[in-house]
A and B are shown apart, each in its own frame.
Chain A
């Protein structure tokens, strides 16, 4: 874990809290709802659904950019405020004059800092009085548990830069494309994260890395709320949340993917069913937008709380038993979130070496945008997109040969200031790679097939290593940027004095 990772986690959390915390709170303030809990759940669902639809629609036009998304949010809030009557004062000129008069009086009075603090304190006390402590008591433990889940699930991304799932790379690439106004395949789970990218100022890879754990915490919270609603017991809610967190650690390594995120909205639809059928249907629609073809993961995530609720409702004595073991289950869930992802990932892989991912992160952080080129397998493209240029290792190997690069007057001639070539000294071997195409099964993708087969990958890496060794023997512009027992990253400085025609 390095300082930059902690800062990035903080930035993403801040963006996430604004999009999925502050905005729903504003929506709840401008919506009429008798039940506070239902009101906040509805506001969260509506905000998420609005975000989903807006980013997908704007993305299809290449307009999913900070300005347009921000304007959409402002319009959304204004529409809600208009409907709720909050804006009616603005049309009242007498009210406006009175406000101006108050401001003038305030300026003329020159209130001291002490008086300001006193006034703030009074406001804070009156705000606190709006909440009934006894009504909030059952949720205190649940909320703390969700916070701990978030911290525990962040343990892996704070220590490792690489992803555990192949789909995370494609989601990262899609998110980068979407947030840069490029055409990209529509991915509902990614569309939700575009505003977080804009607010946090972090690149897609970092947002995907840290948003997964935060969604895990939201899922745990939703599970406990659903169970509380169905069984009336916060202890049962805690048990369900602990089990879901544990399952999330097993299935996704604590980094929730599309099916897990969609489960949040499926569970919300159950929660909202009694209060408003329409909102429940909208919530289900949001879930389907995020993951249109529900898989086994979603069935598990949504099934665990429902089965618990059924069991508890059919056998009341089970409720007491579960309540007694709620703390061990919760602690086990948190322990799983800390321990399992590192075991799942192993020391390296399954899709790239940690050294390669860290080298990429360093290049992005340290070098000016679009002044460098990375030659590597396809996984690094998710990190480079929008920051620099990327060339597939297979293309590089096919384009050059040893006889050519060994010439003293040969130069690669890439129109960038720095070229980084990633070579695996020990070609990656992991469960994600296969020995033959048939072994890959559904994981087979024609575009990246050369990197999915162990022999093919080893051959490419060997050839790249040979090319660079030959080039380095006759050229002085090559440096080793990063090296360990698995990977070596060469840095080739431009011989054209930093001319950047690509930019």
Chain B
């Protein structure tokens, strides 16, 4: 029979809460000391009120008894992997609706059967809108999510709208900076440069609006905004015989207004029942906290799109303008985008699973089992990465074979498609690593990986497109993505060696 010591006079802060809220037994006496200190039980209090020499003695006395209380179940809001995967995929819903519209009406919110000059203008406007707003959306999400997670919804809302205003101003500045060289160097004949500017501005506003919805995890609203926009284009172009470009610009503006309105309503509904005034924020602090996120957002889209720009500007003495939209190149990339979307959907699910594993492992292992904790999570990371590799390989091979068999209608260049599939696969690995690094509050590690990757993309893409043909600009993207994947894996593996520290520091 075990001789249990007498139950000491135990502070109530150590016992399981009476309301049955989640409670875990302490791992060791050190854990008990931390809990005591948090509750304000210092050595003096331990001596005066509980009769122990100090808090350590009190903790050592209480620990065996506390172990006897069963842990109350943590009500984890666990969802199946499939649901998480579908949630991860939901960001691509607007894109899916645009593809559907293209298949049905032969035009969409942007693009369609247009002249080469117009296609180049729309393409330039679209790419620049993504690159310009990418950083703003990331920074907005970083600050907005922080305030929403600490239940300061008023400040969260104010921060988001502030970033939207900043993003709009940034869009105008970058747009004018795009139009000026277009005019000076005659990259596009007039008025196509202004059309590019109009698409840049309208699409940029739409991305800002959908960025808020994505941050609030309301991707269905983004899809609804796209549907509303497409319907507007169809109505204006088909029924009212408005020229396609005008109809599309109006449709994008309608979609942006719809998305902004939805964001406004969602923010207001979240604020209902909570009081509190938004706190005033220093722009300097915003800059300090968000610069890596801003850089990441911008560089990410540069990495994704720079090969297109290189392909479109490859010198062609017989071309009718220096910027040429390359339809065959675009087809291959669009097909590869399907595989990319299907793979990237896993990033969210895998990140959530990995974080759950960290929390579970933290509870399993005591403070002296640090190496076990790290070993277990490195194994978990390895398994998840292997899953990405297998999933990516299966999807890429499947898509390549499908396109080779039944894709005669699209007629993409098989080498371009192959490069794009490889690049997309590597990009997903990089994004998976980046997601974990962001979870661990290590955004600078991501930036230091993506910046050289963009440089590699530009260098290889430039040389390949100029020395061989523009179809090989995609090799730049694949090389950049490979570099990004390698650097983020290296950075993450280094951090995983001290995961306990980084996990702790990320939570404070």
* Inter-chain contact B319/A369, CB cutoff 8 Å: yes
Q: Return the contact of A503 from the options B185, B282, B318 (Cβ within 8 A).
A: B318
Q: CA–CA, A369 to B189, complex, Å? A: 9
Chain B residues with CB under 8 Å of A108's CB are: 282-284
Give the residues in chain B near A104, CB-CB below 8 Å: 284-285, 287-288
Q: Does B462 contact A (CB under 8 A)?
A: yes
CA distance A158 to B184 in the complex (A): 20
Question: Which residues of B have CB within 8 Å of A61?
Answer: 467
Q: Which of B240-292 contact A (CB under 8 A)?
A: 282-285, 287-288
Is B466 an interface residue, CB under 8 A from the partner?
Answer: yes
Determine the distance from Cα of A188 to Cα of B393 in the docked complex, in whole angstroms. Answer: 52
**CB interface residues, A 54-84, toward B, < 8 Å:** 61-63, 65, 67-68, 71
**Complex: how many Å from CA A62 to CA B314?**
12
The answer on a CB contact under 8 Å between B284 and A386 is no
Whether the Cβ atoms of B186 and A386 lie closer than 8 Å is no
Q: Is the CB of B287 within 8 A of A370?
A: no
Expressed in whole angstroms, the Cα–Cα distance for A105 and B288 within the complex equals 11
Name the B residues within 8 Å of A369 (CB-CB): 319-321
| Distance in Å: Cβ of B177 to nearest Cβ of chain A | 16
Flag if B317 contacts A180 (CB, 8 Å).
Answer: yes
Give the distance in Å from the alpha carbon of A107 to the alpha carbon of B317 in the complex. Answer: 48
Name the CB-closest residue of B to A500. B320
Interface string of B450-463 (1 = CB under 8 A from A): 00000000000010
Known: A67-B462, A68-B462. A386 touches B317 (CB 8 A): yes
Nearest Cβ distance between residue B239 and chain A, in whole angstroms? 29
A201 touches B315 (CB 8 A): no
Partner of A370, one of B288, B315, B319: B319
Given contacts A63-B467, A201-B186, contact A368 B320 (CB under 8 A): yes
A373 → chain B, closest Cβ, in Å?
12
- Inter-subunit contact B186/A180 (CB<8 Å): no
B317 x A182 contact (CB < 8 A): yes
CA distance in complex: A67, B184 (Å): 17
Interface residues as binary, B276-315 with A (CB distance below 8 Å gives 1, 0 otherwise): 0000001111011000000000000000000000000001
Q: Which residues of A contact B321 (CB under 8 A)?
A: 368-369
Q: Which residue of B lies closest to A58 (CB)?
A: B466
Could you say which residues of chain A place their CB within 8 Å of the CB of B467?
61-63
Shortest Cβ gap from B186 to chain A (Å): 7
- Please indicate the chain B residues that have their CB under 8 angstroms from the CB of A71 in the complex: 462
Cα separation A265 to B168 with both chains bound (whole Å)? 51
Contact indicator per residue, chain A 102-117, by CB within 8 Å of chain B (1) or not (0) = 0111011000000000
The B-contacting residues of A in range 160-185, CB under 8 angstroms, are: 180-182
Q: Are B287 and A103 in contact (CB under 8 A)?
A: yes
Contact B287 A107 (CB under 8 A): yes
Q: Mark A370-384, 1 if CB is under 8 A from B, else 0.
A: 110000000000000
Residues of A within 8 A of B284 (CB): 103-105, 107-108
Interface residue? A37 (CB, 8 A): no
Chain B: minimal CB distance from A444 (Å): 29
Q: Report B-chain residues with C-beta under 8 Å of the C-beta of A100.
A: 288
- Whether the pair B320, A371 counts as a contact (CB closer than 8 A) is yes
Chain B 174-189 interface mask (CB, 8 Å, partner A; 1/0): 0000000000111001
Is A127 at the interface (CB under 8 A from chain B)?
A: no
Shortest CB–CB separation between residue B134 and chain A, in angstroms? 22
A53 to B186, CA, bound (A): 28
- Whether B320 and A201, one on each chain, are in contact in the complex, defined by CB atoms closer than 8 angstroms, is no
In the assembled complex, the Cα of A71 lies from the Cα of B462 at a distance in Å of: 11
The smallest beta-carbon distance between B423 and chain A, in angstroms, is: 21
Decide yes or no whether A502 CB sits under 8 A from chain B. yes
Q: Are A503 and B319 in contact (CB under 8 A)?
A: yes
B 181-216 contacts with A by CB, 8 A: 184-186, 189
Q: How far is the CB of B321 from chain A (nearest CB, A)?
A: 6
| Nearest CB on A from B105, distance (A) | 27
Q: Please state if B287 and A181 are interface contacts (CB–CB under 8 Å).
A: no
- B287 x A63 contact (CB < 8 A): no
A100 to B317 Cα, complex, angstroms: 46
Residue of A nearest to B189 (CB): A368
A65 touches B319 (CB 8 A): no
Which of chain B's residues has its CB closest to A109's CB? Answer: B284
C-alpha gap A100/B444 in the complex (Å)? 15
Q: Does B466 lie within 8 Å of A181, measured CB to CB?
A: yes
User: A182–B466 Cα gap in the complex (Å)?
Assistant: 11
Give min CB distance, B280 to chain A, whole Å.
12
CA of A386 to CA of B319, assembled, Å: 9
> Complex formed: what's the CA distance from A67 to B455 in Å?
13
Within 8 Å CB of A201, what residues of B?
184-186
Q: Using Cβ atoms and an 8 Å threshold, which residues of chain B touch A67?
A: 462, 466
Contact B288 A68 (CB under 8 A): no
In the bound complex, residues from chain A placing their C-beta under 8 Å from that of B318 are: 370, 502-503
Q: List 14 A-B contacts (CB under 8 A).
A: A103-B287, A104-B287, A104-B288, A105-B284, A107-B283, A107-B284, A201-B184, A201-B185, A201-B186, A370-B318, A371-B320, A500-B320, A502-B318, A503-B320
The 7 lowest CB-CB distance pairs between A and B, nearest first, are A104-B284, A201-B185, A107-B284, A108-B284, A181-B315, A369-B320, A370-B320
Interface residues of B (CB under 8 A from A): 184-186, 189, 282-285, 287-288, 315, 317-321, 462, 466-467
Q: A369-B320, A503-B320 are in contact. List 14 more A-B contacts (CB 8 A).
A: A62-B467, A63-B467, A100-B288, A104-B284, A104-B285, A107-B283, A107-B284, A108-B282, A108-B283, A181-B315, A181-B466, A201-B184, A368-B321, A370-B319
